[in-house]
């Protein structure tokens, strides 16, 4: 059930499903109050307008796999592998998703992404520390 984020992985899964459905309201509402994203988009309606114009339909998440999850107190990290389909073709990448606990539920703080070519090991061996080794990772 959307909105019940007792496990970090559930929030990640629900955000992916919301993206697939174009439910950018859920995505916006799942941000942690301290997320840097909210500095860029402090107004929900402004973000929804932007998402409808710039994000919706620009790519699809074909596949998402959770590779690793670590929870410590009110913080969690989830490493995922995903396959995106864009107008330019398919793109495989990894994301390190950071979450924080708010009022008993998990909220999205931010992510960093690396491309598949930037990690030569087996996907299931990828850990948060491996992201630090990639100088051209993308933060969002």
Strand partners, 113: 95, 138
Residue 2 lies in a domain: no
Give per-residue pLDDT as tens, 89-109. 999 999 999 999 999 899 999
User: Structurally, how many domains does the chain consist of?
Assistant: 1
pTM of the full structure: 0.91
On average, the pLDDT of the chain sits at 93
Residue 3 lies in a domain: no
Binned at pLDDT 50, 70 and 90, residue 5 comes out as low
Residue 115 lies in a domain: yes
Residue 86 lies in a domain: yes
Residue 4 confidence (pLDDT)? 52
- Element (DSSP H or E) covering residue 70: strand 59-72
Residue 138 confidence (pLDDT)? 83
Residue 28: pLDDT above 50?
yes
Which residue range forms the structural domain that includes residue 36?
8-139
Binned at pLDDT 50, 70 and 90, residue 1 comes out as very low
CATH code at 79? 3.10.450.50
Calpha distance 79→38 (Å, rounded)? 22
Residue 1 lies in a domain: no
């Amino acid at each position: 059930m959307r909105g019940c984020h007792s496990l970090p992985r559930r929030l990640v899964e629900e955000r992916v499903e919301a993206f697939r459905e174009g439910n950018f309201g859920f995505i916006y509402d799942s941000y942690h109050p301290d997320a840097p994203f909210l500095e860029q988009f402090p107004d929900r309606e402004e973000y929804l307008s932007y998402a409808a114009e710039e994000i919706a339909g620009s790519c699809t998440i074909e596949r998402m796999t959770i590779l690793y999850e670590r929870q410590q107190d009110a913080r969690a990290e989830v490493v995922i592998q995903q396959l995106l389909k864009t107008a330019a073709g398919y793109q495989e990448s990894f994301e390190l998703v950071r979450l924080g606990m708010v009022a008993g539920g998990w909220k999205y703080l931010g992510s960093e992404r690396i491309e598949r070519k930037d990690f030569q090991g087996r996907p299931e061996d990828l850990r948060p520390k491996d992201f630090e080794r990639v100088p051209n990772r993308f933060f969002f």
